Amino acid sequence: MCDETLKFYKRNLPHWIVANKTYFVTIRLHGTLPKAVVKELQEENRILRECSADADKMMVMKRSQFRRIEKILDSKNSMVHYLDDPLIADLIFNNLGWLKKRGWHIHAATVLSTHTHLLISNHLGKTVNLLEDLGLYKNFTAREANKILGKTGSFWAREDFDHWIRTNSKFEATVNYIANNPVKAGRVKNWQDWKWTLIDESLIECVK
């Protein structure tokens, strides 16, 4: 049985929305990537748009991009670190409850200095609303964060990195990845010590 594609967006990044799938999403701050890297990504994304009919090739390229960008986001080379402010981290983390009200089950989440990871699925059958709901969440948290910072303008990057999880093993690996991202970034020694990480109780055994 084929996976039902609900929407396919060709923006700067490709967004493939498939019915009833779990999504790994990374939301990053505006200005976290050097201009040279942004130019490289724009060219790669042009190629991605051209090969959108080749799903396997597109997924491989997206994962390669993600690994490279994640390395920058986890490093001290990133240009902005607004989420280091505990008030802003609390804002981002505590408002995940709004997504739950929209039918999103949060299997795992973590907030770091430059980005937020989410592993989510919609138990109301409204996966089609993924980008819309993330956009509303980002708009609200951006306004409130800017109030704390005393600034105006862009807070989040316009587009997110999102891809759907194809296998159970990939799902478990993603839970483990999200939980251990603060450890990998050198923020804590044990994932349980990071205040802004959420792992569904039923998935604790996936974390190694």
pLDDT in tens, 146-187: 999 999 999 999 888 888 898 999 999 999 999 999 999 889
Q: What is the pLDDT of residue 72?
A: 63
Q: What are the tens digits of pLDDT across the range 108-156?
A: 999 999 999 999 999 998 988 998 999 999 999 999 999 999 999 999 9
CATH architecture under which domain 5-32+80-206 falls: 2-Layer Sandwich (3.30)
Candidates 196, 27, 174; CA nearest to 111 is 196
Share above pLDDT 90 across residues of the chain, in percent, rounded to a whole number: 55
The residue extents of the domains of the chain are: 5-32+80-206
Which residues in 63-74 are b (16+ Cβ under 10 Å) and which e? eebbeebbebbb
- Residue % of the chain over a pLDDT of 70: 69
